[in-house]
A = this chain, B = another copy of it.
Amino acid sequence: MQMEIINTGSELMLGFVLNTHQQWLCRQLTDIGYVVNRQTAINDSGAAIDEAVREALARADVVITTGGLGPTSDDITRDRIAKMLGCKLREDAEALRNLEDFFQRRHRRAPESTRVQALVPEGAIVLQNAHGTAPGLVMEIASGRFRQAGGGSLLVMLPGPPRELRPMFTEQVVPLLKEKCPLPSEFVCRVLKTTGLGESLIEERIAGPLRELTDAGMDLGYCARVGEVDVRCAGFGQQGREQTEAAESKIRELLGEYIYGTGDDGLEEVVVKLLTEQGKTLAIAESCTGGFIGNRITNVPGASAVLLAGWVTYSNAAKQKCLRVNEATLKDHGAVSEAAAREMAQGALKVSGADFALSVTGIAGPAGETEEKPVGTVFIALATKRSTTVQRQINRYDRETFKWVTSQQALEMIRRAAMAR
């Protein structure tokens, strides 16, 4: 099965916005067993759209376009494709009603110019848009029309805004794909998320023991990002299910506590869920990460049940005043030290009354390093009523990556401590 994605939008080609559709759509399709072979981005120009869609339809079973369905003058995808396919446009009553409802809910009348979005090519399947005004469109292209060999194609046109595209894809396109372009057998995929071990160390531990399964056809892949590695097992049908289940228990045995979650779990979600289940609370004292760990935790809905308080104690005065760090500690050991991290965590614990208090102090760079403490040096402490532990790490990256990696280590420290209780 050949699949292609075409992203239209001059703002993409000018580099003004990041193309998040590509990753999102590819990931959704990967997770249900489809593979995208090619993605193309082009300007909102009629000739470019014609050319790219024509070429893709000559190669692929499924072609998905994004963007160009709205009401403005540069939204030309629907019209160009209808013209290319020789389809007339008709006004879709339900799409029009949806559009009028959309404006009514906002206490406005639908501007005349927006009605163009209710025009759909004859013969198209209309995907109503629950979060916007432009419906999605699906057209079945007859065999032999664009492809010299092979069957027909499915052409799926989706609106550009992510909050419209994503639910439309999940709720309407995925069932349609499964119906119109079924996979030979059920696809089974299991992703285990790890942190704390590099890709090569993970491969070293598991590739050998899993050889029997991979030799028998199970797909085993690694996806390494800074601060985490996903291990992915996949296969088809009953055999695939048995293989991925066997692989998962083997990997869990071999990687143990390095695995923090599955699927799309983020480490912050795992930590919030774990503490919520345990009825435990958290306080966070950040220096060099500047609020990034608090931000990650509070990105999780329901974080308020867990996070009592956070501090960004960038200055020494704030460390003393808010967290009761001793002046002598800062003077003797410096603000970036095991002793300072320890006192910050203990201070946060006492002031907040939380069950766990985390602290981070380090040198994000680019300036501030000393002979003894190079850029990237960071101390991470975790205090509970019973004890305080401190880690020293050297995370030598640019400023934002430094914060990310440090936050992974810090969240993992909380997760492990909570698991151990």
Type the 1/0 row for A1-42, where 1 means its CB is closer than 8 Å to any CB of B: 000000000011111111110111111111000011111111
| A26–B20 CA distance with the chains assembled, in angstroms | 15
A294 in the interface (beta carbon within 8 A): yes
Instruction: Please tell me which one of the listed residues B38, B48, B298, B313 contacts residue A291 in the complex, with CB atoms under 8 A apart.
Output: B298
Residue pair B315, A309 in contact (C-beta under 8 Å)? yes
A210 in the interface (beta carbon within 8 A): no
Smallest Cβ distance from A20 to chain B, in angstroms? 7
A367 in the interface (beta carbon within 8 A): yes
Copies per complex? 2
Instruction: Please tell me which one of the listed residues B230, B284, B313, B403 contacts residue A295 in the complex, with CB atoms under 8 A apart.
Output: B403
Instruction: Please tell me which one of the listed residues B22, B29, B42, B52 contacts residue A19 in the complex, with CB atoms under 8 A apart.
Output: B22
CB within 8 Å of B: which of A257-311?
284, 286, 288-295, 297-299, 301-304, 307-311
| A13–B221 CA distance with the chains assembled, in angstroms | 14
Smallest Cβ distance from A103 to chain B, in angstroms? 16
Residue pair A295, B292 in contact (C-beta under 8 Å)? yes
| A48–B39 CA distance with the chains assembled, in angstroms | 12
CB within 8 Å of B: which of A223-243?
223, 225, 230
| A353–B312 CA distance with the chains assembled, in angstroms | 15
Type the 1/0 row for A301-331, where 1 means its CB is closer than 8 Å to any CB of B: 1111001111111110110011000000000
| A52–B292 CA distance with the chains assembled, in angstroms | 40
Residue pair A13, B27 in contact (C-beta under 8 Å)? no
On chain B, the residues within 8 Å of A317 by CB distance are 308-309, 352-353
**From DSSP, what is the main secondary structure of chain A's interface residues?**
mixed
Chain A interface, number of residues (Cβ within 8 angstroms): 76
| A303–B294 CA distance with the chains assembled, in angstroms | 18
Residue pair A30, B15 in contact (C-beta under 8 Å)? yes
| A185–B302 CA distance with the chains assembled, in angstroms | 57
A163 in the interface (beta carbon within 8 A): yes
| A323–B197 CA distance with the chains assembled, in angstroms | 40
Smallest Cβ distance from A354 to chain B, in angstroms? 9
Given A309-B315, A310-B314, A223-B16 contact (CB < 8 Å): yes
Q: Which of A's residues lie within 8 Å of B, judged by CB? A: 11-20, 22-30, 35-43, 48, 52, 163, 221, 223, 225, 230, 284, 286, 288-295, 297-299, 301-304, 307-315, 317-318, 321-322, 351-353, 364-367, 398-400, 403
18 further interface pairs, Cβ-Cβ under 8 Å (given A298-B403, A304-B315, A321-B351): A12-B26, A13-B38, A14-B223, A15-B22, A15-B36, A18-B23, A19-B19, A22-B41, A37-B48, A289-B298, A290-B299, A291-B294, A292-B298, A301-B399, A309-B312, A310-B313, A311-B322, A321-B352
